[in-house]
Amino acid sequence: MASDARTSTTIDCFRIRKYTGPQKIKGKELTLIKSSPHPTLPITILNYTNDTERSSAWDDLTMATRVLVVEQNTGKVLSRAFSKFFNWNENHDHAYRLPVAGHTGNENQWILTSKARFDSVHVGMAEEVLHEKYPHIIDTRRTDGTLSRDKTYVFELVHPKNPTHLRYTYKDLVLLSVIGKDGSEPPPDFDWSIYPFPRPAVSDVNITDLDAVRKLNRVNEEGFVVKIYLRNDSLHPQRIKVKFESYLDLIKSKNYHTPTELAALYRKKREMIHTFDEEEVEMKMKVEKENYFEGVRRIADDFGGDRWVTGLIKIWKEVESVFVEAEMELVRIRDSLTKKEGFGVHVGTTNGEIKRRFAQTILQDQTMGKYKNVLFVWFSGGPIVEQVKAFTTLVRMKATGTSND
């Protein structure tokens, strides 16, 4: 039986290959772990994927692969962050952000990573903070340094340019924990003052009523991470997230969760695609959809998990269906006016009689009349930007369902 990946110092390479490739799970082809190699060193960051979250395929390995850095050829653990932990309102049998600075042993150097990359913008921000505020802390020439070279130092990045839901006016690295390659952490009575970094605020709360904690709603705070030390293991604490209701309301207000809100988002994204070419529009809107739902899944555990995401996907499909059907109808009408009615050669004309005849053709047909604004822009020779804008403006969603009528 394989050792527990959350505490093992070496991960079985066969398991890594298996989890980073597609597997048949619950009748679907899923890839549970993503590998992000270092650009020059033979090491890689392992992270669980959206497939893992959507299918709740949690086990010791998927839970361990949260910024888990290993040697590619051996599976030797070089650094690790916290294993996956869940929200208070989630129901998981396994329940017990951030740049990570971990000494990898490669050429005696410290390496910073973000959640999934060795060279992300967050790594650059963290390096900036280190050089400005802690220039000597990771000097590898010092043998008596404060930081142990066989540990991972897990930080929360605070930076004005870091795009979080809360806005910060200063920059720093808040030390969340120090983690050994076996997942061990300092004991409850550890003296954190030996490090120069700030630490998270610590509060005493009644953990027997975490629902009450959610209602504390402290200003400019997201919530608490509750750390629980077990009697039989003081070096492997368990964690659970408790988000304040006010914070959940804030992030909900900044996302699009209803048909009307999603239609507004879809309209905004569609207006940026200056063409009516079906393939190009489909391709670019697919990218926009993927980007949106990547963000949705990051906060999904705050709003009901997979069921909530599935509901949003259904709404998106309804919105998409209305826009796509309307656009197909518009293109058919425009093609008919161009070829069958012969107006194509007169686009941009100043001839009053031809313009009158075009308007009469449009207004006498109920279907064409729905698109009169965009058709008039087109026939007058208006730029494609204005045509697309006129089209997206006319598409409307019904309160109960979707329609362009």
pLDDT tens-digit map of 194-225: 999 999 888 766 556 777 777 776 666 677 88
Is the domain of 293 the same as that of 360? yes
* Domain annotation covers residue 110: yes
Map residue 229 onto helix, strand or coil.
Answer: strand
Stretch 286-299: mean pLDDT:
80
pLDDT tens per residue, range 115-164: 878 888 888 889 999 989 998 876 655 555 568 888 999 998 888 876 55
* Domain annotation covers residue 322: yes
Distance of alpha carbon 383 from alpha carbon 297, whole angstroms: 37
pLDDT confidence band for 178 (50 / 70 / 90): very high
CB contact at 8 A, 361 and 341: yes
**DSSP 8-class letter at 274:** -
- End of a domain among 182, 216, 249? 249
Cα angle vertex 284, ends 55, 314, to 5°? 40
* Domain annotation covers residue 400: no
Token digits for 162?
Answer: 């870091």
pLDDT confidence band for 96 (50 / 70 / 90): very low
Is the domain of 22 the same as that of 98? yes
Of 116, 5, 115, 1, nearest to 59 (Cα)? 5
Is the domain of 370 the same as that of 227? no
Statement: residue 67 has pLDDT above 70 = yes
Distance of alpha carbon 49 from alpha carbon 65, whole angstroms: 9
Is the domain of 197 the same as that of 298? no
Is the domain of 178 the same as that of 321? no
- End of a domain among 214, 249, 284? 249
| The dihedral sign for the CA sequence 169, 172, 175, 181 | positive
**Residue 160, C-beta contacts closer than 8 angstroms, at least 6 positions apart:** 167, 168, 169, 170, 171
Task: List own/partner pairs for 108-116 with CB under 8 A and 24 or more apart.
Answer: 108/140, 109/140, 110/138, 110/140, 110/147, 111/38, 111/41, 111/69, 111/79, 113/45, 113/67, 113/69, 113/79, 115/47, 115/66, 115/67, 116/34, 116/36, 116/45, 116/47, 116/67
* Domain annotation covers residue 368: yes
Statement: residue 313 has pLDDT above 60 = yes
Statement: residue 94 has pLDDT above 50 = no
| The dihedral sign for the CA sequence 317, 318, 319, 321 | positive
Share of the chain above pLDDT 70, in %: 81
Is the domain of 238 the same as that of 384? no
Q: What does the mean pLDDT of the chain come to?
A: 83
Is the domain of 244 the same as that of 264? no
* Domain annotation covers residue 321: yes
CB contact at 8 A, 23 and 90: no
Whose tokens are 């920059």? That residue is: 171
H or E element in which residue 337 lies: helix 306-339
Q: What is the pTM of this model?
A: 0.61
Statement: residue 274 has pLDDT above 80 = yes
Statement: residue 65 has pLDDT above 90 = yes
Map residue 100 onto helix, strand or coil.
Answer: strand
Whose tokens are 């070279």? That residue is: 149
pLDDT confidence band for 93 (50 / 70 / 90): very low
Whose tokens are 């009408």? That residue is: 333
Identity at 36, one-letter amino acid code = S
Stretch 90-117: mean pLDDT:
60
Statement: residue 405 has pLDDT above 60 = no
Quote the domain boundaries for residue 308.
255-394
pLDDT tens per residue, range 12-40: 999 999 999 999 988 889 999 999 999 99
Q: What values do phi and psi take at 182, rounded to 5?
A: -95, 10
* Domain annotation covers residue 242: yes
Is the domain of 307 the same as that of 278? yes
* Domain annotation covers residue 214: yes
Is the domain of 243 the same as that of 297? no
pLDDT tens per residue, range 332-342: 999 999 988 89
> Is the pLDDT higher at 50 or at 388?
388
* Domain annotation covers residue 8: no
Is the domain of 242 the same as that of 311? no
pLDDT tens per residue, range 229-271: 877 888 888 888 888 777 676 666 566 667 888 888 899 999 9
Is the domain of 309 the same as that of 245? no
Is the domain of 260 the same as that of 297? yes
- End of a domain among 228, 249, 270? 249
Among 83-97, 100-114, 198-212, the range scoring the smallest mean pLDDT is 83-97
H or E element in which residue 360 lies: helix 352-363
Of 15, 122, 119, 105, nearest to 64 (Cα)? 15
Q: How many domains does the chain have?
A: 2
